[in-house]
Amino acid sequence: MSDEKSEFEQIPENIMKNITEMTAEFQKMAHDFLEEQNDRVSDIESDPMHIGETLLELSRYYATHPEQLVEKQMDLWQNYMTLWQNASRKMMGDDTVKPVIEPDPKDKRFKDREWQENQIFDFIRQSYLLTSDWLADAVNDIPAENTHEKAKKNFFTRQFIDAMSPTNFALTNPEVIRETIDSQGKNLVKGFENILRDYNPESGKFTVKMTDDEKFEPGRNIATTPGKVIFRNELIELIQYAPTTEKQYKKPLLIVPPWINKFYILDLRPENSLVRWLTDKGYSVFIISWRNPDKSMADLDFGDYMRLGTLTAIDMVKQATGEKKINTVGYCIGGTLLASTLAHLAAKDTLDQIDCSTFLVTQVDFSEAGELTIFVDEKQMKDMEQTMEKHGFLDGKTMSNTFNMLRSNDLIWSFVINNYLKGRDPFPFDLLYWNGDHTRLTRACHSQYLKEMYLHNNLVKPGKIILNDTPLDLTKIDIPTYIQAARTDHICPWMSVYKDVWHFSGPKRFMLAGSGHIAGVVNPPSAHKYNHWLNDDLPRDASEWLEGATSKPGSWWDDWHKWLRLKSGPKVAARIPGDGPLKALEDAPGNYVKTRYR
């Protein structure tokens, strides 16, 4: 008999060799990491959201109410016993056994067939789901001093539950086990190499890579709609896009994007670019590109963003086109700034230069602003301000992590599984490249925004916010407004956006789009995706509005165009960027958008 081992017999040996190699490197990295953290991380930076305090409160409560914990444990034990009995029956060949618990149909984690067909993995899956529900209920039943603290407890508990999913561990994920056997453990070695790639020893920060950053570049294969930068100051570049029609609507259109992310979410690729679609419809489109701030810009506050940003851009668009009236669009926090700007113009009796305004997933009333409020309270604000005082800005990665935590299974753990357990490189995806193209937030502006809007909801209180020596009153905004919200938006919940109709006094059209904060906005008609709801009535209650709304298939862009074109004036000869009083400085997308901080 030959002493040569078969390929199958070599698999365990090769797996062990690869795992041993990976473990040795991991131990060295862990040792170095812990030493660095001891020297680098302060108490604030190690627990900026006070998760430790929240978990300590949970322990204290059940330590003083053991009877409630025993009762809940008995319920869990009974469910476990039912699960064990069902598992035993299945092992004996009984195919009629129904699961004790099923995951949410939208939960993608357990889509692999092994989670249903393999008895062991089915048992693991149901055990996890039972324990998750038990823990979530146990935390939710704890009395809290206020709804904010209760929401924090529930949110952080969900983060823990998501982190402990069996799909996140190599030995309890059937897809990873299959990959490990097929590759003889090379996936784990490659996964560790990916860990080393994503860890920055200089900063001590770890960034889970979502896409191949080398595959994209603004101006080369994203943000490619032709145009020119026609104005630049210390905060903005103003881009005017080249016409694609012989004639354009007389009134130009200025877009104010958020400065939390870069503007090219509205101009990713030609087929899904809102900017390109608008130029094809005959609009004369301008957009603000915000500068990615450094420490020297620390003292620029919300009023400065209005003065150097929206107010300046409005003047420059009028100057470039020779028009006395323009139309405006604001997206997310860019819309909040635009609403503040319109209130400022109204107070100065100069709102007549804006004919109409569109607000995309924009909040002005933050009384029910969703899960982001979990990250904003007096304690967390104090700690955040200390960190921003030291650096002069809030690092973009911090804000990105916050948004990712709102959908941790999709935006964190799925990439952990793909990159580190399966050992695969992330797929090149333009949207995820944009999502990782972080922007910093100036200390003064971010602190003012969180305090005035999220903590105190002052924007909807006439006169409570004063920008550039001007008290703001949103009810003085009497121009026509088109207000768009997105049904599953987890950043600007649609019912919160609906409250915009309470505070603007002019004619209003509210439209609810399918999907979320990004896909609900960037949804070209050619995609034939999602739907949208329309209702000409605007009752006080958002739920009542939806009950009376009519669902329409596909994108909302055409509905907006029908509304906007009637307010954009007659057609005139197309405007060429740089041919007017403001000369071209450089090609779009400009210079500011290319500044990246890692």
What's the confidence (pLDDT) of residue 380?
84
Q: Which residue has the higher pLDDT, 42 or 181?
A: 181
Find out whether 254 and 286 touch, Cβ atoms under 8 Å: yes
The residues, any chain, with a CB within 8 Å of residue 118's CB and separated by 6 or more, are 174
Judged against a pLDDT cut of 50, whether residue 41 lies above it is answered with: no
| Mean pLDDT, residues 73-94 | 90
> How confident is residue 39, by pLDDT bands cut at 50, 70 and 90?
very low
Using left for φ > 0, alpha for ψ between -120 and 50, and beta otherwise, residue 249 falls in beta
Query: Which residue numbers are catalytic?
Result: 332
> Which one of 139-143, 231-235, 411-415 scores highest in mean pLDDT?
231-235
The lowest-confidence range among 2-16, 184-198, 347-361, 582-596 is 2-16
> How confident is residue 597, by pLDDT bands cut at 50, 70 and 90?
confident
| Mean pLDDT, residues 70-88 | 90
Find out whether 258 and 204 touch, Cβ atoms under 8 Å: no
Judged against a pLDDT cut of 50, whether residue 356 lies above it is answered with: yes
Under DSSP, is residue 292 helix (H, G, I), strand (E, B) or coil?
Answer: coil
Alpha-carbon gap, residue 198 to 409, rounded angstroms:
19
Find out whether 587 and 219 touch, Cβ atoms under 8 Å: yes
The number of helices, as runs of H, and strands, as runs of E, in the chain is 23, 19
pLDDT in tens, 149-177: 888 888 888 999 999 999 999 999 999 99
| Bridge partner list, 470 | 467
What's the confidence (pLDDT) of residue 44?
41
| Mean pLDDT, residues 319-339 | 98
In the chain, the domains with their CATH numbers are 7-193 (no CATH), 228-375+438-594 (3.40.50.1820)
Edge-first strand listing for the sheet containing 508-513: 550-553, 531-534, 508-513, 481-486, 354-360, 326-331, 253-256, 285-290, 236-241, 227-232, 586-587
pLDDT in tens, 465-475: 999 999 999 99
Judged against a pLDDT cut of 80, whether residue 484 lies above it is answered with: yes
> How confident is residue 14, by pLDDT bands cut at 50, 70 and 90?
low
Judged against a pLDDT cut of 70, whether residue 50 lies above it is answered with: no
Task: State the average pLDDT for the chain.
Answer: 90
pLDDT in tens, 431-454: 999 999 989 999 999 999 999 999
What's the confidence (pLDDT) of residue 32?
55
| Mean pLDDT, residues 10-22 | 58
The lowest-confidence range among 58-72, 83-97, 367-381, 430-444 is 58-72
> Which one of 24-38, 207-221, 326-340 scores highest in mean pLDDT?
326-340
> How confident is residue 334, by pLDDT bands cut at 50, 70 and 90?
very high
Alpha-carbon gap, residue 259 to 336, rounded angstroms:
11
Judged against a pLDDT cut of 80, whether residue 145 lies above it is answered with: no
What's the confidence (pLDDT) of residue 12?
57
What's the confidence (pLDDT) of residue 59?
73
| Bridge partner list, 586 | 229
Can you state the angle between helices 66-91 and 119-140, rounded to 10 degrees?
160
Alpha-carbon gap, residue 176 to 16, rounded angstroms:
16
pLDDT in tens, 121-141: 999 999 999 999 999 998 888
What pTM value is reported for the model?
A: 0.89
What's the confidence (pLDDT) of residue 9?
42
Alpha-carbon gap, residue 414 to 267, rounded angstroms:
26
Q: Which residue has the higher pLDDT, 6 or 503?
A: 503
| Mean pLDDT, residues 274-303 | 97
